[in-house]
């Protein structure tokens, strides 16, 4: 089946308006809203590396979009559109139908358009999505703004996806296959959070990127980590390995002043948020458990391990 036939059959839907142009030409055309900046990110998913080979095509389609929207959310931006580069071992119509259905369901839920991309043949299934969004000029939330005294806060639960990967068939596999990008929360945190990152490689490792960029440290209270009952039932070392180093959660970890935290009104948010620690002047990440120092040696996901 020819490349353009695959595109026409599975990836040609477009809902752009006005003078914007999506799938069907050499390039897409977008008009940035006045007073806003363009936010761009990209992620590649490889079969057997970023998802189990048994993962359904629908889930792969959903996740390939969701992990990119999570990066847009982590900047406090509103997602707008995606580009898709898809490398396929062969043209499998059943697989493509389910993959495109999952992809478009995630796009539809978060108001995103597929505006272009590329398809080709390859020995390995590889999906690369580039996401675009907009944020008010000079209002993007970066990693470098954490201040001593800020709270460290995380959305949702951590460790679910890693537990699901280790226990395929369990209820938490859903969180591995269908992560929820916190797009609404990310936009709500614009102007309030001092720094932010999405948790893709493990909470400890990703928080470490904030600490390095901001030249600060943090103390985390282990008993405050928001965990699923399945993780709470584990012994401490195992549950903290999942929660702090497991990765694939795609929750938002952010720092925020106590005053701004009080303005958030958690009951009005689309997901729960939990204060798990505080930013310190000492430039390292430390852990406390039941009021005592608790040394841990953890390593998050390594892309070239």
User: What are the b/e assignments for 65-100, b being 16+ CB within 10 Å?
Assistant: bbbbbbbbbbbbbbbbbbbbbbbbeebeeebbebbb
| Alpha-carbon gap, residue 21 to 4, rounded angstroms | 18
Adjacency order of strands within the sheet including 78-88: 36-46, 126-136, 78-88, 113-121
143 annotated ligand-binding residue: yes
133 annotated ligand-binding residue: no
Q: Which residues pair with 292 in a beta bridge?
A: 289
206 annotated ligand-binding residue: no
248 annotated ligand-binding residue: yes
94 annotated ligand-binding residue: no
Coil, strand or helix at 144:
helix
| Alpha-carbon gap, residue 118 to 96, rounded angstroms | 14
200 annotated ligand-binding residue: yes
43 annotated ligand-binding residue: yes
Q: Which residue has the tokens 């003078």?
A: 19
**Strand segments (E) across the chain:** 36-46, 78-88, 113-121, 126-136, 151-155, 193-198, 217-221, 252-256, 273-280, 285-289, 292-293
| Alpha-carbon gap, residue 132 to 143, rounded angstroms | 19
| Alpha-carbon gap, residue 305 to 302, rounded angstroms | 5
| Alpha-carbon gap, residue 31 to 18, rounded angstroms | 9
| Residues that constitute the known binding site | 26, 42-43, 50, 71, 117-118, 143, 198, 200-201, 248, 301
| Residues that constitute the known binding site for ATP | 117-118, 143, 200
| Residues that constitute the known binding site for substrate | 50, 248, 301
| Residues that constitute the known binding site for Mg(2+) | 26, 42-43, 71, 118, 198, 201
């Amino acid at each position: 089946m020819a490349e353009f036939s695959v595109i026409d059959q599975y990836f040609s839907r477009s809902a752009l308006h006005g003078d914007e142009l999506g799938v069907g030409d050499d390039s897409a055309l977008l008009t940035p809203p006045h007073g806003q900046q363009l936010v761009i990110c990209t992620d590649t998913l490889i079969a057997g590396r970023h998802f189990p080979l048994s993962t359904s095509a629908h889930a792969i389609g959903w996740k390939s979009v969701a992990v990119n929207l999570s990066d847009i959310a982590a900047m406090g931006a509103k997602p707008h559109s995606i580009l898709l580069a898809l490398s396929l071992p062969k043209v499998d119509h059943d697989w493509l139908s389910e993959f495109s259905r999952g992809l478009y369901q995630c796009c539809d839920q978060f108001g995103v358009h597929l505006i272009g991309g590329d398809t080709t043949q390859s020995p390995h299934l590889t999906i690369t999505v580039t996401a675009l969004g907009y944020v008010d000029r000079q209002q993007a939330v970066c990693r470098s703004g954490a201040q001593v005294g800020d709270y460290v806060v995380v959305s949702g639960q951590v460790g679910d996806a890693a537990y699901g990967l280790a226990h395929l068939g369990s209820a938490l596999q859903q969180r591995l296959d269908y992560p929820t990008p916190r797009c609404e929360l990310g936009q709500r945190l614009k102007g309030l959070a001092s720094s932010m990152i999405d948790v893709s490689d493990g909470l400890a490792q990703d928080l470490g990127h904030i600490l390095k960029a901001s030249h600060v440290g943090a103390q985390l209270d282990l008993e405050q980590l928001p965990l699923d009952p399945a993780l709470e039932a584990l012994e401490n070392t195992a549950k903290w390995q999942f929660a702090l180093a497991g990765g694939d959660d795609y929750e938002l970890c952010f720092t925020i002043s106590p005053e701004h935290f009080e303005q958030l009104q958690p009951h009005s948010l689309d997901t729960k948020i939990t204060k798990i620690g505080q930013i310190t002047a000492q430039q390292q990440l430390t852990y406390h458990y039941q009021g005592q120092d608790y040394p841990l040696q953890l390593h998050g996901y390594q892309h070239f391990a």
